[in-house]
């Protein structure tokens, strides 16, 4: 069985999607359509923008989504048995399994990006990568701190990202290093994604999701909030709304997909981060790019 997986924020690069724009007519139409939907030439920034321009929230999230979907929808062999996406990538996965239309999903992704930006301005906050500690130890130390700081991304065993207030992250990094973490590395991000500090964005996105048409998917999506397969529209919507303030359970998602029969994981989108994580989580399966 084949699982298609879709990357999240951080996998952008200058020149992204330019090759498929120039070589694939269907992909070109998908990319051009994005400019019309968003009302600005995002493809120009994707192809020629600087790293700083690509880092703008209103650009980063839609750019990664557009690249991923253009790759997936322009590929004639795309017949997923299951799909999953890392954070933002869940929206790409929901287009690949026909739960969301491309235009509707792009509008949601743009609204999500802007809502997250506003939430970051309300609560200045950050994230940090913790390497070489057991998940339970990280969770316990975060819970012991009198600040907002939580486990946010379960990327693979021994690699967990925490999220919270600037002070909370600073205290947590010191305590986690003292507890034996190999690294406790603050990340260059604009806010505490997948933490309670994203509540204003969650409320804003919830309204947009509720007013968007969702269809019955052609295959299950393994969602970030519980790592379990979903095929019911009501459940998919509920989990997608919860996603902004809940952790990304990527390790558990991959484990469940393997248990349910996934033998090959195909990453659709810029970069190779998810392929690397899959190989660490489940060395026995095949992982490749589209």
Residues annotated as catalytic are: 87, 194
Helix axis angle for 199-210 and 102-122, nearest 10°, is 160
| Residues 6 or more apart in contact with residue 274 via CB below 8 angstroms | 5, 6, 7, 86, 89, 265, 267, 287
Query: 260 is written with which tokens?
Result: 């349910």
The DSSP element (H or E) to which 221 belongs, if any, is: strand 221-222
Query: 52 is written with which tokens?
Result: 């700083």
Residue 176, judged by CB atoms within 10 A of its CB (0-12, 13-18, 19+), counts as buried
Tokens 């558990």 sit at which residue?
252
């Amino acid at each position: 069985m084949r699982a298609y997986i879709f990357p999240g924020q951080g996998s952008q690069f200058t020149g992204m999607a330019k090759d498929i724009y120039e070589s694939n007519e269907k992909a070109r139409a998908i990319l051009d359509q994005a400019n019309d939907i968003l009302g600005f030439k995002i493809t120009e920034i994707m192809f020629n923008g600087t790293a700083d321009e690509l880092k703008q929230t209103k650009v980063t999230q839609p750019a990664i989504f557009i690249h991923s979907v253009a790759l997936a929808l322009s590929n004639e062999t795309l017949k997923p048995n299951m799909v999953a996406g890392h954070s933002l990538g869940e929206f790409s996965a929901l287009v690949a399994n026909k739960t969301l239309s491309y235009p509707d999903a792009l509008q949601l992704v743009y609204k999500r990006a802007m809502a997250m930006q506003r939430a970051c301005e309300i609560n200045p906050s950050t994230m940090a990568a913790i390497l070489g500690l057991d998940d339970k130890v990280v969770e316990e130390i975060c819970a012991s701190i009198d600040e907002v700081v939580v486990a946010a991304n379960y990327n693979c065993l021994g690699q967990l990202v925490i999220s919270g207030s600037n002070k909370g992250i600073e205290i947590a990094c010191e305590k986690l290093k003292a507890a034996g973490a190999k690294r406790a590395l603050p990340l260059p991000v604009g806010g505490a994604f997948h933490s309670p500090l994203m509540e204003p964005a969650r409320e804003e996105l919830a309204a947009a999701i509720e007013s968007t048409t969702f269809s019955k998917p052609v295959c299950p999506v393994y969602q970030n909030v519980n790592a379990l397969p979903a095929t019911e529209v009501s459940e998919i919507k509920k989990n997608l709304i919860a996603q902004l303030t809940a952790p990304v359970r990527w390790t558990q998602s991959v484990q469940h997909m393997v248990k349910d029969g996934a033998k090959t994981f195909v990453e659709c989108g810029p970069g190779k981060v998810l392929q690397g994580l899959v190989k660490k989580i489940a060395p026995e399966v095949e992982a490749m790019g589209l």
